[in-house]
Structure 1
């Protein structure tokens, strides 16, 4: 077995032999298959690998040809694309499967004689990066904190309309990879929580919104891109290999992508790192096996930028488009087709998939030309902002999580004297720095640079480009001026001047993260010292944390003078207005934590840090399986500071009268019916999406003010606590707004997928026999009512 592991570790170099003669790559693929066949079935029914290290990715060839079986719209798009591709030469097909230099972040080749234009690709998941007259939307993690499907859809629709208005064909988002396994992961903020169900709800709603606006959505990064450290290969070493068992791969990491595919995603971006020792953009199991076969993907797979690591191998493994340039394709791909290393059917399918997505979104009819500029030349500006600022403010408020509120410190009632402290309160707190801290570039990641102004987004390709930023200080100043009060402030010092007559002291801190780097800590001494110094004399200290991920607060959260604390996330350009609407009670908070905040870093165990290694073939073994975030805390009986799903309201709610029912006529067979040769559709077998059970309960406002509740449903599958998580989120609904004393029914529909586990022997989703425990409550630990759904033979 050690020999096999060492041999497999050489495969990345072998597969990159496509840089040389294509026939040598064919030999490499055959060698890979020989090595892999001996190991591809060595997994237990519980999903845990029986190998001393986690998984070798089994080969899946040939790459399946799209067939348009999902619906009539995909069938028509596929037929149109196939007819067009049938008129192309091999050179023309190769030309549209590669990137070219151009105005956009990515540009495909064109076929002028057939009126096929270059397609324009652009970042990012929370706004068009690097352009003018565009909006800076809240980051993905902030949208997830709303626990509101309607807002998730509106977010995607508004985002998509801006891409459409700028003539951008393909939006590079939304994000569910990283899912958030590594607590200090540098890009967790781009994604939609560390829970696959919540992330999936966001992925589906945002994808539908983007594409309803006429733009191709690109869920990314497929798959297991869970850390920034060594995510890419270098001439002297390979990228990290994220090694995971088959069940975990399906139930955690692929799960949210299923929702995006179900909503018609036209593209998927593959990731940089290796997955089970094979690079994700040439991993035939991930691309051919899971994405295009199991999940019926009809669109095209695009590489992350410069993420292609081989030529023939990546083509045969299922990659359809290399970005941002030719990569290992171009003329070499033409040569590979002519000598038989890549079949003409494969290159035709690559081109057809790209055009099918173009036709599926009906972009061939009057699509706006790209309005992308480098801002160094005079040009006619194209303004796509519309009235999105109002939606940005609404989502900003809805994703703000109040985690502490003693003695009704909030909401404010027209305070006359406010003190504002901390570098995060204003646009540029540090006069010695030249750039504002609303985002920054890839390089602004560590140390005191992060103390330079308020934080509305993270760094790197997922960052946005705001037309303006409403800082907390600006918005609070507006409110205090309206009430004829006074302000005092200090944005620089960690030990500011006391003002003992102040009604309240607001302390603003942040926690930054960026692509290309993982975080070094979940706290910082300067910020904690600032909070404690203010709290030492101010008896009404309110702390606001703008954070790109988990931020620990135990240094000060129990201090008696810290009366309130808010996790204000990454709220986008209307940051200050969104925050003041919560502070002043214009909006009753409904935000809920999309992750678990521990009492100490050590509570996260092996999930805290990225895997670090000097090995030329580094590995990250995901031995925790399904137990990440709150599942980890449940498994190890750890008490968090603030659990997943937690958030306070200015009113209170009671839960009662839970009932469960099997849907009459529901197909409750252990496995989806495979006897009728039901075609797989985008998102998997259609039976997975059928509603099989319904849970109901009543939620009543028992407080004194109007408000809405985020009711959450968790299930424990038969075997929970043994080979499955103790409980896992499988539903949420926003109930209200409700006036005091008003009750309303919360209804949760459970699909077959919601109740299924991935059976690694049958290679299918399975409904287990027995009792499914059901809980509904206000968080993953605040479970108010319970019941059971029983499945019998």
Structure 2
């Protein structure tokens, strides 16, 4: 029996199972056992996509079955360096498609920019900046001839603190993550570049993300409420923004691989959320032919030849996959191409500016644009978060001597344009740690990169025009001010001149796709900090961090006066840091995740799940904590974090006043939405049910921006959840009005039996302030 016939039988059995499925009575129906959902729905066509679908259906109607199938699978080619390619169909003037890494800037090319990565954008809490950044990044993709940017990342969401890819996304909070994803999709696609929002869904660890030997991919086991209220939430925002593509993930979801999970793709994405675009597999994430086609996968990368290609053509001819399913795959792909205007004669040819080998002769195609220079710098700037500033250590006040220490202060020894990341030899520091990039990390004390980091590693890395290191930026400032500057980047116990006005220790916490971090701090780095602090009364610590970093081994040392989380700031790393250190710019970043005092505070969520016991060959990751991750968990367990979600200091102070709540009387407050399905779900989910207003005043002595945050207590859920943020820039004594619209979805919880968002009757506590634990304004919204 051929594999296609076998998978066809399995698909038919799954369809019968779906028809015979039990009535959903509670959340346990989903946990660990993904329900079947067939058939895969054809795109329903929203009004926004009507013209594109009319063109796409006419286009696909001209194609042979083989040509339709060729649209669904990648091809390997040597004429360009695209991460993935769909072949051209010359007879109908279709040029093909180029898919390129990544959501933080185009990778593996020359003449491109290293933008601030996702975590830095999350730390900015700045919708407008996220939008402008997306426009700038997408403009480089377009100039280089890329049709699809593989990003933004909204999964992993950050459930596992050691996850090697948390830095690629925006935040551990679904509301913040979704709001910034919305702006990123809108900004990118306004330039005509399709966003591939990834990784769908519940992809929360690198360890055993793919099968290894006899051990299968990890299964993320979660209930339906957790799925909707946490992990699906930011994808819903991205679909609502109109994304043309979603990438399915490597992991299994409740026992079924994400790229053949019919409940996730056919039901959640294409039915409930009304997704108009196409689903692409992560590279090598397909594990079946007929089963993945019937479950809703539309395109496979990097090649269609293993399970699809001729096998998919055969599956159609023998009835295992319907012709209508392949038509829908092709139509969704071509509709996204039309929707973004990529059929225009001025859209560059796929991969035309992405050389296969940058060391070989090739045409020079300039991606960067000087007009985005300020956005690149602002992204680096607003991603820095000041979390300690004792004795007004910062800003620096005309220092006569600065001493600079730490391995992250200098420019990396090398940067290889061919893969957009540091050479492997630069990944370690003496005995700091070693790692294997497959699925495990050897025992060690941590991972750090020898030189300032501008991004994490792997497919989410990006290309710099240059790298402004802290050392270079401080050198330029010292030259301008005629300040003494001493440095030592090698010693763990350096000599220190005790007359130094400030000793800056610049270190990092590196993370990368392909492996999870061994732990959340390392003795090597902490020893440098403590040894400097023992000799210098004003020790300022800076972390370029691509992962959460515990600090309690040194933070209470009396000589550690300041701590900055710089995150992953891109090529303007040093310039931004020095501007902040001297007070030329004010800190405005906030923590987009929480930092606890100890690993134990994570309650087991500090490390990835491993195969064990009866599941030695089938690793299981049980999301038994439900929606209680990060600040939700700390609130529920009454754990005081070292630095809470939303926290960040400034050189000025702010005061909040005048909380007011107004219910929108023209909007229905019935228990369930009744609107038709649009992109993102039922259309009345986006109705504004109530509006919260307040005022904020700059009560300090310098200009500054503050992130005002609204939290809501939804009955039966966490004590509070982020449901609004604004970031006004205020002059001294300046006041701004704050407005937080609350939609039906913002105030609803997921009803697993009704399979709808439920707006409960009753009282909703409201909190407004500067962090998840500093909320001076309180009020109540009553829905009846």
1:512 aligns with 2:487: no
Distance in 2 of aligned mates of 1:239 and 1:507: 40
| Residues 399, 454 of structure 1: alpha-carbon distance in 2 compared, 3 angstrom cutoff | same
The aligned counterpart of 2:436 is none
1:115 aligns with 2:93: yes
1:258 aligns with 2:236: yes
- Cα drift, residue 507 of structure 1: 0.3
Structure-to-structure mapping, 1:405-484, within 5 angstroms: 405-428=389-412, 439-440=421-422, 447-448=432-433, 450-484=448-482
- Cα drift, residue 740 of structure 1: 2.2
Distance in 1 of aligned mates of 2:637 and 2:120: 28
Contact between 2:109 and 2:417, CA under 8 Å: does it hold in 1? Answer: no
The aligned counterpart of 1:791 is 783
1:82 aligns with 2:60: no
Contact between 1:442 and 1:460, CA under 8 Å: does it hold in 2? Answer: no
Contact between 2:533 and 2:557, CA under 8 Å: does it hold in 1? Answer: yes
- Cα drift, residue 40 of structure 1: 5.9
1:404 aligns with 2:388: yes
Query: Alignment partner for residue 37 of structure 2, among 52, 56, 60?
Result: 60
Distance in 2 of aligned mates of 1:399 and 1:427: 19
Secondary structure of the equivalent of 2:590?
Answer: coil
**Please, which moves more after superposition, 660-669 or 238-247?**
660-669
The aligned counterpart of 2:605 is 607
1:341 aligns with 2:342: no
- Cα drift, residue 739 of structure 1: 2.1
**TM-score, structure 1 length as denominator?**
0.93
- Cα drift, residue 414 of structure 1: 2.4
Distance in 2 of aligned mates of 1:517 and 1:715: 36
Contact between 1:438 and 1:453, CA under 8 Å: does it hold in 2? Answer: no
Query: Alignment partner for residue 777 of structure 1, among 758, 769, 772?
Result: 769
Encode CA deviations 1:487-541: one digit per residue, 9 max, x unaligned: 0000011111110111100001100001010011110111111111111121111
Distance in 2 of aligned mates of 1:696 and 1:397: 28
- Cα drift, residue 258 of structure 1: 1.1
1:706 aligns with 2:683: no
Secondary structure of the equivalent of 1:120?
Answer: strand
Distance in 2 of aligned mates of 1:42 and 1:624: 22
Query: Alignment partner for residue 125 of structure 1, among 103, 107, 116?
Result: 103
Contact between 1:444 and 1:459, CA under 8 Å: does it hold in 2? Answer: no
1:683 aligns with 2:680: yes
The aligned counterpart of 1:184 is 162
The aligned counterpart of 1:384 is 367
| Residues 619, 568 of structure 1: alpha-carbon distance in 2 compared, 3 angstrom cutoff | same
Query: Alignment partner for residue 233 of structure 1, among 211, 222, 227?
Result: 211
The aligned counterpart of 1:368 is 348
| Residues 50, 123 of structure 1: alpha-carbon distance in 2 compared, 3 angstrom cutoff | closer
Distance in 2 of aligned mates of 1:341 and 1:437: 40
1:576 aligns with 2:544: no
The aligned counterpart of 2:585 is 587
The aligned counterpart of 2:646 is 645
- Cα drift, residue 435 of structure 1: 11
Encode CA deviations 1:729-763: one digit per residue, 9 max, x unaligned: 0000002x222222221110111110011100000
Secondary structure of the equivalent of 1:423?
Answer: coil
Distance in 2 of aligned mates of 1:289 and 1:599: 41
Encode CA deviations 1:682-705: one digit per residue, 9 max, x unaligned: 111111111111001111111111
- Cα drift, residue 576 of structure 1: 0.4
Secondary structure of the equivalent of 1:745?
Answer: strand
Secondary structure of the equivalent of 1:218?
Answer: strand
Structure 1 unaligned regions, length at least 5: 1-16
Distance in 1 of aligned mates of 2:458 and 2:394: 35
Distance in 2 of aligned mates of 1:135 and 1:67: 38
Secondary structure of the equivalent of 1:779?
Answer: coil
Distance in 2 of aligned mates of 1:107 and 1:559: 54
Distance in 2 of aligned mates of 1:63 and 1:33: 10
Encode CA deviations 1:23-79: one digit per residue, 9 max, x unaligned: 3213223444666788765653xx4x278xx3311111111101312x2x4011011
1:717 aligns with 2:714: yes
Contact between 1:122 and 1:129, CA under 8 Å: does it hold in 2? Answer: yes
Distance in 1 of aligned mates of 2:22 and 2:217: 22
| Residues 61, 189 of structure 1: alpha-carbon distance in 2 compared, 3 angstrom cutoff | same
Distance in 2 of aligned mates of 1:428 and 1:122: 25
Contact between 2:248 and 2:282, CA under 8 Å: does it hold in 1? Answer: yes
- Cα drift, residue 347 of structure 1: 0.2
Distance in 2 of aligned mates of 1:286 and 1:711: 35
Distance in 2 of aligned mates of 1:276 and 1:791: 35
The aligned counterpart of 2:521 is 523
Secondary structure of the equivalent of 1:545?
Answer: strand
Structure 2 unaligned regions, length at least 5: 434-446
- Cα drift, residue 718 of structure 1: 1.6
The aligned counterpart of 1:9 is none
- Cα drift, residue 372 of structure 1: 0.9
| Residues 560, 234 of structure 1: alpha-carbon distance in 2 compared, 3 angstrom cutoff | closer
Distance in 2 of aligned mates of 1:414 and 1:92: 68
Encode CA deviations 1:657-713: one digit per residue, 9 max, x unaligned: 10101113012111112xxxx431111111111111100111111111111110000
- Cα drift, residue 97 of structure 1: 0.7
| Residues 464, 698 of structure 1: alpha-carbon distance in 2 compared, 3 angstrom cutoff | same
Secondary structure of the equivalent of 1:509?
Answer: strand
Distance in 2 of aligned mates of 1:36 and 1:93: 28
Contact between 2:426 and 2:450, CA under 8 Å: does it hold in 1? Answer: no
- Cα drift, residue 428 of structure 1: 3.6
Contact between 2:587 and 2:650, CA under 8 Å: does it hold in 1? Answer: yes
Distance in 1 of aligned mates of 2:580 and 2:99: 37
| Residues 149, 610 of structure 1: alpha-carbon distance in 2 compared, 3 angstrom cutoff | same
Distance in 1 of aligned mates of 2:496 and 2:541: 16
Contact between 1:438 and 1:454, CA under 8 Å: does it hold in 2? Answer: no
Query: Alignment partner for residue 288 of structure 2, among 310, 318, 339?
Result: 310
**Please, which moves more after superposition, 106-115 or 230-239?**
230-239
Secondary structure of the equivalent of 1:475?
Answer: helix
Contact between 1:445 and 1:514, CA under 8 Å: does it hold in 2? Answer: no
| Residues 317, 444 of structure 1: alpha-carbon distance in 2 compared, 3 angstrom cutoff | farther
Secondary structure of the equivalent of 1:660?
Answer: strand
Query: Alignment partner for residue 152 of structure 1, among 121, 130, 133?
Result: 130
- Cα drift, residue 182 of structure 1: 0.5
- Cα drift, residue 141 of structure 1: 0.8
The aligned counterpart of 2:10 is 28
Distance in 1 of aligned mates of 2:3 and 2:544: 52
Distance in 2 of aligned mates of 1:766 and 1:444: 52
Secondary structure of the equivalent of 1:487?
Answer: strand
Secondary structure of the equivalent of 1:573?
Answer: helix
Secondary structure of the equivalent of 1:425?
Answer: coil
Contact between 1:214 and 1:361, CA under 8 Å: does it hold in 2? Answer: yes
| Residues 226, 43 of structure 1: alpha-carbon distance in 2 compared, 3 angstrom cutoff | farther
The aligned counterpart of 1:728 is 721
The aligned counterpart of 1:7 is none
1:94 aligns with 2:73: no
1:357 aligns with 2:336: yes
- Cα drift, residue 184 of structure 1: 0.5
